[in-house]
């Protein structure tokens, strides 16, 4: 979330889409309700089904799964056409005025410029146009002529970390250095230049007319216009006070266009000037705890903690790596850019000091060579595909029921059969550790499985202390409620004991490259079970030598060994160690900030500055500089977060300024300090996204229609699919003519609560939600069994016949959507009683992958439906 | 269980005065349920089962999100789900069903067992299973179909409004668990006020002209009140009665005809007694005694 | 069955040999007391539940409220079955005749004990006894029909319980009224009657006084008219 859960209460308008917070985030949903009750805020819910969230909405629209970009693009078009935009915000806080390089082409035919004809883009033209180097600070209004874009200057010095590309991008490179963003960007504050980002945006989404939205999404034109009018009404008549928020979750991410859906929302919010403001923002509702923390701590294959990039093989030494991954400012010459990622070397060196302690020295590049270099993608689905190919021989599955969470579970089960070993750390016997017991496995087949399965008894969340990081980026300490039962152990003990054994082996036997293992810093009091307080302190970081900083804190000295007050103190000279720069400040000399439980909220905005701790630097709303106009005055005085104090010459306020505290508004420093441009990206240059600098609607990989925008290029051209015999895609021609989406219920938690009698009582059995009209056509009533077939598998469950899903007219054809909650499998209370028992619902879903975030397309694939 | 911290106002089938009645100041409590912001998450159901340590029931799929068809002796709190379509607009109504804690409780009126049902001065109607004789009259006396019979123990159970918690100054468990705040607990006065301002808001801000507060006067009001989208049609919400009444058999009959019947019976006994004293017995007449 | 039971009624036969008349066979007496006892138990247990004013008085007799509630339907069931036998046992004797109509017209005189004897045509049962019998028949049917919904009130609609509840009570009040008169008539008001239901026999005088026609029938002696 750019904002936070509580901040939603400050909103005037909510668009909840790709999320079902009433069911999946019921506790957080109190804040949307609060906004309705206290501010008369309006709530628009867009979903393939009428959900429990929709039940409380002011307006509900049923959308075809996987067409969110078309809907949001329609909103962008509506906002531009009806002048419901925040002009000042747009000009000064976004890159709307930036001029894009000549040669960039919009995807009228489904492809941006630079497509290689296969599966990737040459991103040279996805860039800004450079302006002359030494441009004066004359008012740019006077020279918005195309000439402003004249001097494409070779500011090759301004390397952007956007040049980094995806993992492996640099690896393939070698010969030609990747393109970089210009240091001085040509721009046009009138937004009239035909290659200005704004004009390109306008052109790009002018195709997303209400009629086109209706054809693609199935939302009737009038309903769409009603929603568009309502949502953009916050900028009606030039109003700048109101704020609208967009709330989403995995309903957006789980598509082959997932990242670009969120991009579209971000663009819309920038267009309306809603980012960085109380009651605004683009707010991802993270799933279960502790998913936000896992992401922050590098629980993804291509990042280290704090979203630091993982080196590629071409990054032969630290300097090369840092040069590639540390961005330099790229902006109009007159503007300022904080470019906070310029501190990357400090974060990186401190991280390596935390990892390797004294073994990391300047002489050995801070042990840079110990770090793994990533030569290709190792995403989740990739891993299973490799196992299926017999290349991955073993798997540690901790707190992850891999078979059930799929996609394409059948393939995952087959993959595990080919593995040599499998280690599962869980609370209950579950589908992954019993993959050999999946329904349909014959005794003969079982006898041929040679995978050795090790089951480790893990501890449940109530049996562990530590922090959870919520969607609002708050670290909150939690305490142990009960000791783990029986032989169960907390995760860190299990992992530590495995690590110590492995290290022992390396010490004894050497091996190819033992250094990264034997030299790792392991300073814990009980090496076999490090405590979370020790780890949390290590993550915060400490001084390794006495530190002073006259600019930051005159007269203050941080003594060697002391906890760091925040990431501003991090150094790249080896005098600081920090496990995750983003969390620096969470455990200071004053103790754990995550344990704070102060309930004071002086501003009444729900900031609660003394409750827990929010990264970065306890800021509750990110980019909050954008809550003020160019001169530093809040857009809405009643929701003042921060403001410029002319007398003190600094930014002050109710929240911690997410900004350079002494940057005078006159210097025009952009509020989006994590971007090299300093402004919000409507156009995302270079390698920011694999599939285009602007979002474009592409059909799901399994779609009932050809993309009405460009039938010849229906799908995302660079969405990833696998080529194994288990990875089949179905089509309408093959009889897969019903759109299927998967989701979770409020009554269950993933595949876990089927072991809890209370939850089982609430919803005892799996079911399939079917529109009443479709049920009539099939001649079935509620409770009868249905057989759902996709190109990958079969799923049988009882039908829930409902009017909450309606038939839709998609591009003139009547179509049905059905929905399957995913919570069941072949182990659980009812399953063990043989009262229900199924292969996981995910054996229907395809392993088709979003090229940016590598999320599978669980939502919106094609199935066949029959009476079972 | 009788909560010694709360004064009793009414006792079922209890002749004579209620001990302690009127000796203590007591405010009426009330549970506020805003149906328009209920999300049917069932946290209240779980909290109820957990707090009261109720046993689990075997449930089965019934083409609905509703946990079971109705409240049960070991399931006192149930959200009832209704899909309702009006002018092409779908509404998914979720109403938390539980004891309404009527000001004039039909169960208490119907109950023949002294002390099996009590009503506290704060309005909570509580069953005292120790005194319950399992006759089940309360079930038919209730206009909301709330009390449920446990065939095994032959006792009737229902929501206690967490009298054990309220007696200790806590809110009921369901209120505590509610994530959206659609459930609130406080004095009746306060809750009625909140309810009416919410209804006003719905009327004037959400275009629900028929929004209103359900606090049926036909049973003297309830200590559980609803804010409904459409107060003119409460039946929509899974059969919430528009005009709930206690069966007359439990009002007119019980409190008028029954005592009358008893008096008549007593008079009958007196009459024969009087007859014996005045008229005397009819003795068999011997032939020798014939006139 | 009745005849085989009678072999145990030696005491009554002895009294008959001494000149008394056999009025109620052992079978009849057994039925009567089964009916009587089960009805009294039903009545007491029922009245415990019937009224708050009786609840605390009567429930201890049956081991407390829940036990009272548990036993009541079973007492009633015994009553109903026993009375069922009695019904068939007495059905023939309970046929309404013109004599009964006459008896009813003279009820006032009967109550005020103005006549030393019943009307000469008064047979085995007089009109009042027959009325009481039919009252019991009707009440029992009502009890039975309304009793089941009350017994299993957790499974029937509540309106049915509410209606049953009233009818059940009404029947009980009717029965109670009859019972008061019945007991009075059978004991204090008519010496010798209780003896007949306990020992089975009556004196010829008793028979002549209360049931002249029956007296004539069993003795063969014509009773002279009083007037």
Could you read off the pLDDT of A128-155 as tens digits, one per residue? 999 875 444 444 444 444 333 333 333 3
C119-148 burial by CB neighbour count: b if 16+ within 10 A, else e? bbebbbbbbbbbbbbebbbebbebbbebbe
Contact A281, A7 (CB under 8 A): yes
Convert the pLDDT of each residue in B25-67 to its tens digit: 889 999 999 999 999 999 999 999 999 999 999 999 999 999 9
For residues A403, A409, A415 and A416, what is the CA-based torsion angle, rounded to 10 degrees? 20
Round to whole Å and give the CA distance between A123 and A137.
Answer: 30
Round to whole Å and give the CA distance between A199 and A5.
Answer: 34
pLDDT of A163 reads 42
Work out whether strand A576-577 and strand A542-543 pair parallel, antiparallel, or are unpaired.
antiparallel
Three-class secondary structure of residue B41 per DSSP: coil
Round to whole Å and give the CA distance between C3 and B145.
Answer: 54
pLDDT class of B1 with cuts at 50, 70, 90: low
Work out whether strand A244-248 and strand A282-284 pair parallel, antiparallel, or are unpaired.
parallel
Q: Do B132 and C68 touch (CB under 8 A)?
A: no
Q: Which of A5, A25, A31, A37 to mutate to test the interface with B (most CBs of B within 10 A)?
A: A37
Work out whether strand B78-86 and strand B29-34 pair parallel, antiparallel, or are unpaired.
unpaired
pLDDT of B271 reads 92
Nearest chain B residue to A34, by CA:
B180
B197 close contact with A: CB closer than 8 A: no
Residue A702 CB-density burial (10 A; 0-12 exposed, 13-18 middle, 19+ buried): buried
Mean pLDDT of B160-186: 96
Pick from B46, B85, B179: CB nearest A30: B179
Q: Which helix (H) or strand (E) holds A757?
A: helix A757-762
Q: Do B36 and A56 touch (CB under 8 A)?
A: yes
The HSE-up count of residue A10 (CA atoms within 13 Å, CB side) is: 28
Residue B277 CB-density burial (10 A; 0-12 exposed, 13-18 middle, 19+ buried): exposed
- Phi, psi (deg, nearest 5) at residue B183: -105, 130
Round to whole Å and give the CA distance between A35 and A44.
Answer: 13
Work out whether strand A794-802 and strand A785-789 pair parallel, antiparallel, or are unpaired.
antiparallel
Mean pLDDT of B3-27: 85
pTM: 0.91
Touching chains B and C? (3+ Cβ pairs < 8 A): yes
In chain C, what residues touch B250 (CB-CB under 8 Å)?
Answer: 162, 165
Contact A740, A820 (CB under 8 A): yes
Mean pLDDT of C77-98: 94
Round to whole Å and give the CA distance between A711 and A715.
Answer: 9
Give B227 to chain A, closest Cα distance, Å.
13
Which residue, A509, A690, A623, is CA-closest to A115?
A: A690
- Phi, psi (deg, nearest 5) at residue C165: -55, -45
In chain C, what residues touch B128 (CB-CB under 8 Å)?
Answer: none
Round to whole Å and give the CA distance between A191 and C108.
Answer: 115
> Which residues touch B82 (CB under 8 Å, ≥6 apart)?
B92, B93, B94, B95, B236, B237, B238
* DSSP string for A105-128: ---TTS--TTB-SSS-B--TTSSB
In chain B, what residues touch A52 (CB-CB under 8 Å)?
Answer: 39-41, 65, 92, 94
pLDDT of B279 reads 86
Give B196 to chain C, closest Cα distance, Å.
33
Round to whole Å and give the CA distance between A781 and C142.
Answer: 43
Chains that touch C (3 or more CB pairs under 8 A): B
In chain B, what residues touch A799 (CB-CB under 8 Å)?
Answer: 63
Round to whole Å and give the CA distance between A815 and A838.
Answer: 27
pLDDT of B3 over the 90 cut: no
ipTM above 0.90, yes or no: yes
Round to whole Å and give the CA distance between A722 and A384.
Answer: 11
Q: How many CB atoms lie within 10 A of CB C95?
A: 10
B39 close contact with A: CB closer than 8 A: yes
* DSSP string for A250-277: HHHHSSTTHHHHHHHHHHHHHHTT-TTS
Residues forming beta bridges with residue A592, ordered by sequence position: A587
Distance between first and last Cα of chain A: 43
Residue C32, sorted as left (phi over 0), alpha (psi -120 to 50) or beta, turns out to be alpha
Round to whole Å and give the CA distance between C189 and B282.
Answer: 6
A487-512 burial by CB neighbour count: b if 16+ within 10 A, else e? ebbbbbbbbbeebeeebeebeeeeee
pLDDT of C2 reads 58
In chain B, what residues touch C112 (CB-CB under 8 Å)?
Answer: 279
**Percent of chain C surpassing pLDDT 90:** 56
In chain B, what residues touch A28 (CB-CB under 8 Å)?
Answer: 179
Which residue, C92, C160, C156, C102, is CA-closest to C128?
A: C102
> Which residues touch A91 (CB under 8 Å, ≥6 apart)?
A97, A189, A191
Mean pLDDT of B177-199: 97
Distance between first and last Cα of chain C: 44
Which residue, A610, A590, A599, A494, is CA-closest to A540?
A: A590
- Phi, psi (deg, nearest 5) at residue A175: -75, -55
Q: Do A37 and B50 touch (CB under 8 A)?
A: no
Contact A426, A455 (CB under 8 A): yes
Which residue, A299, A290, A316, is CA-closest to A369?
A: A316
> Which residues touch B195 (CB under 8 Å, ≥6 apart)?
B32, B34, B213, B215, B225, B226, B227
- Phi, psi (deg, nearest 5) at residue A15: -115, 110
pLDDT of C224 reads 54
Contact A770, A781 (CB under 8 A): no
State which residues of chain A have pLDDT below 70. 133-176, 837
Round to whole Å and give the CA distance between C100 and C127.
Answer: 4
What's the Rg (C-alpha) of chain C? 20
Contact A791, A866 (CB under 8 A): no
Round to whole Å and give the CA distance between A678 and A52.
Answer: 39
C-beta pairs of A367-370 under 8 Å, 24+ apart in sequence: A367/A516, A367/A519, A368/A311, A368/A317, A368/A318, A368/A321, A370/A515, A370/A516, A370/A519
pLDDT of C131 over the 70 cut: yes
> Which residues touch B88 (CB under 8 Å, ≥6 apart)?
none
Round to whole Å and give the CA distance between A793 and C158.
Answer: 51
Lowest mean pLDDT among A199-203, A694-698, B259-263, C21-25: B259-263
A2-40 burial by CB neighbour count: b if 16+ within 10 A, else e? bbbbbbbbbbbbbbbbbbbbbbbbbebbbbbbbbbbebe
Mean pLDDT of chain A: 92
Give the Å distances, CA to CA, from A106 to A109, A431, A696, C52: 8, 46, 9, 87
**What is the dihedral sign for C-alpha A366, A370, A376, A379?**
negative
Q: Do B56 and A54 touch (CB under 8 A)?
A: no
CA A68 from chain centre, in angstroms, equals 16
Round to whole Å and give the CA distance between B85 and C78.
Answer: 55
């Amino acid at each position: 979330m750019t904002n936070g859960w509580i901040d939603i209460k400050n909103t005037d308008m909510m668009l909840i889409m790709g999320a079902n917070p009433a069911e999946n985030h019921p506790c957080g949903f109190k804040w949307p309700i609060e906004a309705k009750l206290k501010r008369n805020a309006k709530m628009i819910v867009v979903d393939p089904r009428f959900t429990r969230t929709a039940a409380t909405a002011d307006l509900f629209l049923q959308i075809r799964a996987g067409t969110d970009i078309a809907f949001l693009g329609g909103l962008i078009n509506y906002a531009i056409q009806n002048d419901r935009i925040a002009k000042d915000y747009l000009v000064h806080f976004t890159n709307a005025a930036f001029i894009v390089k000549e040669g960039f082409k919009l995807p009228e035919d489904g492809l941006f410029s630079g497509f290689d004809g296969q599966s990737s883009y040459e991103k040279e033209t996805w860039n800004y146009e450079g302006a002359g180097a030494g441009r004066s600070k004359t008012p740019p209004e006077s020279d918005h002529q195309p000439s402003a874009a004249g001097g494409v200057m070779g500011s090759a010095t301004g390397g952007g970390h956007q040049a980094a590309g995806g993992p492996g991008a640099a690896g393939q490179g070698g010969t030609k250095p990747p393109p970089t963003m210009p240091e001085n960007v040509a721009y046009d504050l009138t937004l009239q230049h035909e290659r200005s980002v704004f004009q390109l945006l306008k052109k790009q989404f002018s195709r997303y007319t209400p009629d086109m939205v209706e054809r693609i999404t199935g939302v009737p034109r009038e309903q769409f216009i009603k929603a568009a009018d309502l949502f953009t009404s916050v900028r009606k008549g030039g109003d700048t006070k109101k704020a609208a928020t967009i709330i989403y979750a995995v309903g957006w991410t789980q598509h082959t266009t997932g990242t670009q859906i969120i991009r579209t929302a971000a663009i819309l919010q920038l267009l309306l000037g809603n980012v960085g403001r109380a009651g605004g923002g683009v707010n991802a509702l993270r799933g279960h705890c502790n998913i936000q923390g896992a992401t922050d701590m590098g629980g993804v294959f291509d990042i280290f903690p704090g979203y630091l990039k993982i080196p590629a093989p071409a990054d032969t030494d630290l300097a090369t790596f840092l040069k590639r991954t540390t961005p330099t400012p790229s902006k109009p010459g007159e503007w300022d850019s904080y470019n906070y990622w310029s501190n990357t070397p400090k974060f990186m060196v401190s991280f390596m000091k935390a990892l390797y302690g004294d073994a990391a020295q300047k002489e050995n590049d801070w042990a840079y060579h110990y770090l793994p270099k990533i030569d290709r993608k190792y995403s989740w689905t990739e891993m299973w595909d490799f196992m299926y190919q017999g290349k991955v021989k073993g798997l540690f599955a901790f707190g992850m029921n891999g078979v059930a969470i799929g996609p394409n579970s059948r393939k995952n089960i087959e993959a595990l059969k080919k593995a040599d070993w499998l280690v599962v750390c869980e609370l209950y016997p579950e589908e992954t550790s019993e993959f050999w017991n999946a329904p349909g496995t014959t005794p003969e087949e079982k006898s041929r499985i040679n995978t050795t399965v090790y089951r480790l008894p893990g501890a449940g969340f109530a049996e562990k202390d530590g922090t959870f990081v919520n969607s609002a980026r708050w670290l909150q300490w939690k305490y142990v409620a009960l000791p783990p039962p029986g032989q169960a152990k907390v995760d860190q003990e299990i992992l530590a004991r495995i690590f110590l054994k492995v290290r022992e082996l390396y010490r004894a036997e050497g091996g190819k490259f033992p250094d990264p293992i034997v030299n790792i810093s392991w300073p814990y009091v009980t090496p076999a079970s490090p405590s979370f307080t020790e780890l949390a302190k290590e993550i915060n970081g400490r001084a390794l030598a006495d530190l002073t900083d006259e600019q930051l804190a005159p007269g203050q000295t941080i003594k060697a060994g002391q906890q760091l007050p925040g990431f501003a103190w991090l150094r790249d000279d080896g005098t600081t160690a920090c496990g995750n720069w983003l969390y620096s400040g969470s455990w200071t000399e004053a103790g754990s900030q995550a344990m704070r439980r102060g309930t004071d909220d002086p501003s009444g905005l729900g900031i609660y500055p003394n409750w827990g701790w929010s990264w970065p630097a306890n800021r509750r709303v990110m980019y909050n500089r954008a809550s003020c106009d160019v001169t530093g005055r809040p857009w809405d005085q009643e929701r003042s977060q921060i403001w410029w104090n002319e007398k003190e010459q600094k930014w002050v306020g109710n929240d911690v300024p997410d900004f350079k505290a002494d940057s005078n508004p006159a210097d025009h420093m952009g509020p989006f300090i994590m971007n090299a441009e300093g402004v919000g990206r409507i156009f995302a240059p270079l390698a920011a996204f694999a599939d285009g600098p602007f979002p474009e609607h592409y059909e799901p990989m399994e779609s009932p229609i050809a993309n009405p925008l460009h039938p010849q290029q229906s799908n995302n051209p660079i969405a990833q699919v696998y080529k194994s015999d288990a990875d089949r895609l179905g089509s309408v021609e093959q009889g897969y003519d019903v759109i299927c989406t998967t989701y979770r219920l409020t009554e269950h938690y993933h595949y876990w609560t089927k072991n809890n009698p209370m939850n089982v009582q609430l919803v005892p059995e799996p079911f399939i939600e079917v529109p009443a009209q479709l049920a009539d056509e099939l001649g079935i009533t509620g409770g009868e069994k249905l057989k759902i077939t996709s190109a990958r598998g079969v799923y049988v469950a009882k039908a829930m016949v409902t009017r909450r899903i309606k038939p839709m007219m998609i591009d003139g054809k009547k179509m049905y959507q059905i929905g399957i909650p995913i919570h069941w499998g072949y182990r659980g209370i009812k399953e063990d009683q043989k009262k229900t028992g199924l292969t996981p619902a995910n054996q229907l879903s395809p392993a088709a992958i979003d090229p940016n975030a590598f999320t599978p397309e669980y939502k919106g694939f094609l199935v066949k439906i029959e009476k079972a | 269980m009788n909560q010694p911290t709360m004064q009793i106002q009414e006792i079922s089938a209890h002749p004579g005065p209620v001990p302690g009645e009127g000796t203590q100041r007591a405010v009426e409590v009330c549970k506020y349920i805003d149906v328009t912001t209920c999300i049917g998450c069932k946290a209240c159901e779980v909290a109820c089962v957990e707090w009261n340590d109720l046993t689990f029931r075997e449930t089965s799929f019934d083409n609905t999100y509703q946990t079971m068809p109705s409240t049960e002796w070991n399931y006192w709190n149930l959200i009832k789900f209704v899909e309702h379509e009006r002018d092409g607009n779908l509404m998914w109504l979720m109403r938390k069903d539980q004891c309404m804690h009527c000001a004039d409780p039909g169960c208490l009126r119907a109950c023949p067992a002294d002390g099996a049902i009590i009503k506290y001065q704060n309005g909570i109607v509580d069953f005292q299973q120790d005194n319950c004789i399992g006759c089940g009259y309360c079930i038919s006396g209730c206009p909301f179909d709330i009390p449920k019979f446990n065939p095994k123990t032959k006792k009737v159970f229902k929501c206690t409004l967490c009298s054990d918690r309220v007696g200790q100054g806590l809110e009921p468990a369901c209120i505590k668990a509610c994530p959206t705040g659609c459930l609130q607990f406080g004095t009746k006065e306060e809750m009625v006020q909140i309810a009416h301002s919410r209804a006003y808001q719905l009327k004037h801000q959400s275009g629900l002209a028929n929004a209103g507060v359900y606090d049926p006067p036909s049973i003297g009001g309830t200590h559980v009140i609803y804010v409904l989208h459409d107060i003119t049609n409460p039946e929509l919400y899974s059969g919430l009665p528009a005009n709930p009444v206690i069966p007359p058999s439990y009002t007119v009959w019980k409190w008028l005809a029954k005592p009358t019947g008893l008096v008549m019976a007593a008079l009958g006994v007196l009459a024969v007694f009087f007859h014996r004293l005045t008229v005397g017995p009819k003795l068999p007449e011997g032939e020798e005694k014939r006139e | 069955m009745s005849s085989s039971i009678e072999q145990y009624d030696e005491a009554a036969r002895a009294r008959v040999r001494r000149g008394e008349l056999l009025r109620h066979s052992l079978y009849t007496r057994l039925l009567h007391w089964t009916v009587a006892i089960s009805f009294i138990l039903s009545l007491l247990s029922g009245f415990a539940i019937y009224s708050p004013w009786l609840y605390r008085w009567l429930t201890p007799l049956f081991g407390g409220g829940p036990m009272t509630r548990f036993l009541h339907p079973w007492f009633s069931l015994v009553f109903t079955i026993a009375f069922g036998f009695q019904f068939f046992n007495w059905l023939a004797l309970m046929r309404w005749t013109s004599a009964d109509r006459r008896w009813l017209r003279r009820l006032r005189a009967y109550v005020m004990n103005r006549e030393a004897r019943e009307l000469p045509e008064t047979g085995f049962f007089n009109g009042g006894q027959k009325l009481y019998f039919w009252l019991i028949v009707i009440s029992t049917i009502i009890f039975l029909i309304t009793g089941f919904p009350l017994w299993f009130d957790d499974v029937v609609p509540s309106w049915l319980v509410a209606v049953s509840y009233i009818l059940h009570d009404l029947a009980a009040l009717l029965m109670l009224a009859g019972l008061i008169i019945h007991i009075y008539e059978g004991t204090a008001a008519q010496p010798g009657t209780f003896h007949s239901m306990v020992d089975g026999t009556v004196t010829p005088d008793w028979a002549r006084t209360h049931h002249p026609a029956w007296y004539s029938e069993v003795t063969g002696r014509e009773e002279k008219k009083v007037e």
